[in-house]
Amino acid sequence: MEFIVKSQSPEKQKTDCLVLPLFQSARLSGAVEKLNQASKGTFGTLHKRGDLAGNVTQVVLLQSIEGLSAQRVLLLGVGKDGKISSVQYRELLQKMIATLCDTNAQDIVIDLNDIQVKDKDLNWKIRQVIAAFHFAFYRFDEYKSKKDPKLSTLRKVTFNVLTKKDVTLAQNAIEQGVAIVKGIELTKNLANVPANICTPTFLAEKAKKLAKAHNKISTAVLEEKDMRALKMGLLLSVTQGSDSSAKLITMEYRGARKDVKPIVLVGKGITFDTGGNSIKVPPNMIGMKYDMCGAATVFGVLEAASLLELPLNIIGVIPSCENMPGPSATRPEDIVTSMSGLTVEILNTDAEGRLILADALTYCERFAPDVVIDIATLTSACQLALGPFASGLMSNYQPLADALIQAGNQSSDRAWQLPLWEEYAEPLKSEFADLSNIPLNPIGGATIVAGAFLAKFTQKFHWAHLDVANTATTNSPKRGATGRPVALLVQYLINRCNAI
């Protein structure tokens, strides 16, 4: 779909459908009043009938009104003063798209200027429209013999803005919105592939493809023999029950001078999590093909960063393997030595994410990073704690946590910080090793305890951890990956560029 910007009075727009806000008032106002004059009173008649009440999130489609250049007019109810919440705005967009899908419109003009969303600007309003179209139209039907039918004939969306300055702002928002949506699409497409196809080798191939498609991205893949040389005992202990070979994928986007310290993104890439010998019960295994959503996020962010040509250096690190049970799989109570030298007693092989991440995080030291951010579907407890709305955030450096929270609010892909007090690491003390991977006696707060485990391996740099077990996938309205937290992270990167 194509998005463009124009600055023209609404009643003169030649389009298949003109989309305008509708106010709740005794008299017609704004652009609708101008349309009313052009149509010799049609809107006034409808208003008198009570059909143009303008209640918040009312949506009215009008066809073939005489005197207008637009074939259709779609009115979005915004209440008395046009001030609505971000949730209401998104609901309006959803309804707008559903209504457009029932028409044969191919190009539309949207005029959002009189809608004021609390704490949000034009950039946000435009990016939300682009995200809403992606969300509504996204399909994953690669493995269906009969493809899903196309929902809509829509091809072109024009944003109508008021001033020259807004034209520039809107163009910038479109550029960002489209890049983010492309990143989100890549993330979802990778995450939705089932684990019999999406193996660590598959991810490594996709990483090489990404490097081919973007000239500032390069990729390197480490094999198990390299991991042995690096003494990555934790990562190797997770993969040892699987027939698929583990990969440590590094993707490097170079958008700044060589001496600029990189932002490193580490994504959990468990292509399937059975739990290993601490095997999951069958209902809990559904959804575990998504245990590589952190890795998929790293792909999406790098793609968006490259499309936006961000003047930053970004390194993606993806430890990837399968967590399988079996005769050669790790047993509970096995003790393994990590790359950092710390020994770990594995009390539960289902707490595997923190193990592969620990070695990957130690590996990050070699990049002399500015910051390291890991993204992982790490704990089911994160679903209990936060529901589906905010990713779990933990950090050893408050300015980084603050920047991520802010980026989450700006992009409406929010994160909520949890405390990483040292008490949370206490139950990870082991009788026989330097630490255990889960508490022998659980204290609750499993999301934070997992974060506290990772913190043992991140003492040499500024680090944040995003637990996305609750946000990376959804079951409603459709089952699948959400592409979160790509928007949050790309916003963080954009903000970093603006701060240079």
**Residue 379 binding: pick among ligand BES, Mn ion, Zn ion, none (C-beta 5-8 Å cut-off by kind):** ligand BES
259: left (phi over 0), alpha (psi -120 to 50) or beta: alpha
Q: Which is nearer to Zn ion, 23 or 290 (CB)?
A: 290
Q: Is 86 in the site for ligand BES (CB under 6 A)?
A: no
**Dihedral angle computed from the Cα positions of residues 123, 126, 132 and 134, in that order, rounded to the nearest 10 degrees:** -90
**Looking at 135-143, 205-213, 245-253, 344-352, which segment touches ligand BES (CB under 6 A)?**
344-352
Residue type, 222: L
**Residue 330 binding: pick among Zn ion, Mn ion, ligand BES, none (C-beta 5-8 Å cut-off by kind):** none
**Residue 438 binding: pick among Zn ion, Mn ion, ligand BES, none (C-beta 5-8 Å cut-off by kind):** ligand BES
- Write the CA distances from 233 to 227, 318, 335, 431, integer angstroms: 8, 16, 10, 20
In this structure, are residues 397 and 421 in contact, taking their beta carbons and an 8 Å threshold? no
Catalytic residues: 280, 354
Least distance CB 427 / Mn ion (angstroms): 18
Q: Is 467 in the site for Mn ion (CB under 5 A)?
A: no
Binding residues for ligand BES, rule CB under 6 A, total: 16
Burial of 154 (0-12, 13-18, 19+ CB in 10 A): buried
Least distance CB 304 / ligand BES (angstroms): 24
Q: Which is nearer to ligand BES, 368 or 443 (CB)?
A: 443
Q: Is 321 in the site for ligand BES (CB under 6 A)?
A: no
End-to-end Cα spacing for the chain: 32
Mask for 324-363, x = binds Zn ion (CB under 5 A) = -----------------------------x----------
CA nearest 341: which of 240, 450, 233?
Answer: 233
Q: Which is nearer to Mn ion, 315 or 469 (CB)?
A: 469
> Of 11, 350, 413, 467, which lies in the binding site for Mn ion, with binding defined by CB under 5 A?
350
**In the block, which residue shows the tokens 């993104």?**
265
Residue 367: strand, helix, or coil: helix
Least distance CB 353 / Zn ion (angstroms): 4
> Of 32, 407, 438, 493, which lies in the binding site for ligand BES, with binding defined by CB under 6 A?
438
**Dihedral angle computed from the Cα positions of residues 233, 239, 244 and 247, in that order, rounded to the nearest 10 degrees:** -50
Backbone angles phi, psi at 373, to 5 degrees: -125, 120
CA nearest 359: which of 174, 234, 487?
Answer: 234
Q: Is 291 in the site for Zn ion (CB under 5 A)?
A: yes
- Write the CA distances from 267 to 45, 93, 323, 428, 466, integer angstroms: 58, 32, 16, 23, 10
In this structure, are residues 266 and 228 in contact, taking their beta carbons and an 8 Å threshold? no
> Of 224, 252, 273, 359, which lies in the binding site for Zn ion, with binding defined by CB under 5 A?
273
Backbone angles phi, psi at 253, to 5 degrees: -105, 120
**Looking at 44-52, 247-255, 267-275, 406-414, which segment touches Zn ion (CB under 5 A)?**
267-275
CA nearest 359: which of 433, 277, 248?
Answer: 248
Least distance CB 451 / Zn ion (angstroms): 15
**Looking at 15-23, 185-193, 254-262, 379-387, which segment touches ligand BES (CB under 6 A)?**
379-387
Counting every residue, how long is the chain?
500
Stretch 441-500 residues interacting with ligand BES (CB under 6 A)? 446, 469
Q: Is 380 in the site for ligand BES (CB under 6 A)?
A: yes
**Residue 381 binding: pick among Mn ion, Zn ion, ligand BES, none (C-beta 5-8 Å cut-off by kind):** ligand BES
Q: Is 273 in the site for Mn ion (CB under 5 A)?
A: yes
Judged by the rule CB under 6 A, the positions of this chain that interact with ligand BES are: 273, 287, 291, 348, 350-353, 377-381, 438, 446, 469
Judged by the rule CB under 5 A, the positions of this chain that interact with Mn ion are: 273, 350, 352
